[in-house]
Amino acid sequence: MKKILAMLAVITLATGCTIYKSVSHYTPDPENVETVRTTVEIPVNIGEFADASFRKELTCGSLAIVEAPQDGWTYADAIRYALIDELTQAERYDPASPVTITALLNRIDFDTEKGMWIIRMTLTSSNGRTMTIEETLRYSSLGTGEIACMQAASNYLPVLTAFMKQLLASPEFAELAKNTPPPAVTPDESDPGQILDNEEQAAAEARAREIGKERIRLKDSLDSTRKSDPGSL
């Protein structure tokens, strides 16, 4: 219990609601730094990390809240600054870079009964590439109650650390950081569905051309009739 409390800022409000916040700051991992230096070719800029709900806190039961680690931050902000810290240490962060990576935090949540944290995020590069990554961290939990909420709060930093490790080791992240667009997608001739789609599109285009020609013929015919016999129309 003392070890958990040492990792958390605990505030009890007049309403009886308790707020838990990690007091430990994210620290770049030397292994991550080396990975980035090896796989990321140029420094990149890190743009907005959005969250449709702007989540700054997660509820735990009816009388507890687990807050993002710093006042005013959303959880998306916390992940963004952790990534900037990693890239800065690896000398791969530059706000003036031609490549900017943005992200949408799809999900961040915990389940005290299952003893589990989940972070899922979609990252997009200005070079046209995108990737989605999910990290699940399982931990020993007492299930419900105040101590279970403390346990959840104390495992926020470990899940963020695991998330960053998976992200920076992913070949997809190295692709996001390239200053080149992704290769053009060419039809797979071995895929019958792709061939059918191409044939249907070609047939639709041919029909559109025929309809266009027929409209022109009708217009020319009407124009000719008007000229030869103005009173017939």
Q: pLDDT per residue over 6-20, tens digit each?
A: 455 555 544 456 887
Residues 131, 17 share a domain: yes
Residues 214, 131 share a domain: no
Split into its structural domains, the chain has a count of 2
Residues 105, 211 share a domain: no
- Give 49's DSSP letter: E
Residues 210, 101 share a domain: no
Do 36 and 86 meet the contact criterion of CB atoms below 8 Å apart? yes
Residues 140, 219 share a domain: no
183 Cβ neighbours under 8 A, 6+ residues apart = none
pLDDT one-digit tens code per residue, 117-144: 999 999 999 999 999 999 999 998 877 7
Residues 162, 204 share a domain: no
Q: Please check whether residue 166 lies inside any domain of the structure.
A: yes
Q: Please check whether residue 182 lies inside any domain of the structure.
A: no
Full residue range of the structural domain in which residue 200 is found: 192-232
Residues 163, 138 share a domain: yes
Q: Please check whether residue 184 lies inside any domain of the structure.
A: no
Domain's final residue, options 149, 176, 203: 176
Assigned token pair, 189: 């001739």
pLDDT one-digit tens code per residue, 134-180: 999 999 887 777 888 888 888 999 999 999 999 999 999 999 999 98
Q: Please check whether residue 24 lies inside any domain of the structure.
A: yes
Residues 76, 23 share a domain: yes
The single-letter code of the amino acid at 121 is M
Give the residue among 80, 49, 39, 41 at the shortest CA–CA distance from 179: 41
